[in-house]
């Protein structure tokens, strides 16, 4: 992954790499633990931020059986995926 336009390259692995791919695919709509299940979204976002990516956290209310709030994460930094683990055979 490389921050655009002239940022440093970073190699991401595992669920953090998967979370970044989901954020890219979701675009400005973003991801929530409800729409994109993952056990540690807050941790993935924290690790992406450490690498210099800008990720917004929006708080949303939800009803259902256990009402409360949840986070919606949206990637704001322009990035380029140089190589995906999905491309490797």
How do the domains of the chain map onto residue ranges? 2-87
Contact status, residue 79 vs residue 2, Cβ threshold 8 Å: yes
**pLDDT exceeds cutoff 60 at 73:** yes
What pLDDT is attached to residue 85? 61
Q: How many other β-carbons are positioned within 10 Å of the β-carbon of residue 33?
A: 15
What pLDDT is attached to residue 75? 98
Please tell me whether residue 9 adopts helix, strand or coil conformation: strand
**pLDDT exceeds cutoff 80 at 82:** yes
Please tell me whether residue 52 adopts helix, strand or coil conformation: coil
Query: Which tens digit of pLDDT belongs to each residue from 12-64?
Result: 988 999 999 999 999 999 999 888 988 899 999 999 999 999 999 999 998 87
């Amino acid at each position: 992954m490389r921050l655009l336009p002239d940022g440093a390259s970073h190699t991401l692995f595992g669920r953090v790499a998967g979370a970044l791919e989901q954020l890219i695919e979701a675009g400005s709509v973003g991801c929530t633990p409800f729409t994109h299940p993952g056990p540690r979204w807050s941790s993935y976002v924290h690790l992406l931020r450490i690498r210099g990516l800008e990720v917004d956290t929006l708080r949303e209310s939800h009803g259902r059986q256990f009402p409360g709030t949840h986070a919606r994460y949206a990637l704001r930094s322009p990035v380029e995926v140089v190589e995906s683990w999905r491309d490797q055979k």
